Amino acid sequence: MARAGFRTDRGRFRGNNEDALLVLPKFQIYVVADGVGGRNSGEIASRKAVNGIEKYVRSHPVDAVHDSGQADAGLMEYFLRCLREINAEILAVSAAEPSNAGMATTAVLAHVFENRLYVVNVGDSRAYMVRNGGISQITVDHTTVNRLVYTGELTEEEARVHPRKNEITRALGAESEILPDFFVTEIRQGDRILLCTDGLHGELGDDEICGIVAGNPDLNEACKNLVDRANAKGGKDNITVICLEV
pLDDT digits (tens, 9 = 90+) for 181-233: 999 999 999 999 999 999 999 999 999 999 999 999 999 999 999 999 999 99
Residue 148 confidence (pLDDT): 79
pLDDT tens for each residue of 48-96 = 999 999 999 999 999 989 888 777 889 999 999 999 999 999 999 999 9
Residue 66 confidence (pLDDT): 87
Return the CATH architecture of domain 3-245: 4-Layer Sandwich (3.60)
Please give the single-letter amino acid code of residue 78. Y
Q: Among positive and negative, which fits the CA dihedral 166, 51, 126, 144? A: negative
The candidate with the shortest Cα–Cα distance to 91, out of 25, 197, 175, is 175
Give the pLDDT band (50/70/90) at residue 1. confident
Query: How would you class 239 by CB atoms within 10 Å of its CB: exposed for 0-12, middle for 13-18, buried for 19 or more?
Result: buried
Residue 167 confidence (pLDDT): 85
CA distances to 20, 41, 132, 203 from 198, in Å? 13, 18, 24, 8
The DSSP call for residue 143 is B
pLDDT tens for each residue of 152-177 = 777 777 777 776 777 899 999 999 99
The DSSP call for residue 154 is S
The candidate with the shortest Cα–Cα distance to 182, out of 240, 118, 129, is 118
Half-sphere exposure of 196 (CA within 13 A, CB side): 30
What's the pTM? 0.94
Sequence-ordered strand ranges (E) for the chain? 3-9, 19-24, 29-36, 104-113, 116-122, 126-131, 134-137, 181-186, 192-196, 239-245
Residue 152 confidence (pLDDT): 72
pLDDT tens for each residue of 137-150 = 999 999 988 777 67
* Between 15 and 86, the higher pLDDT residue: 86
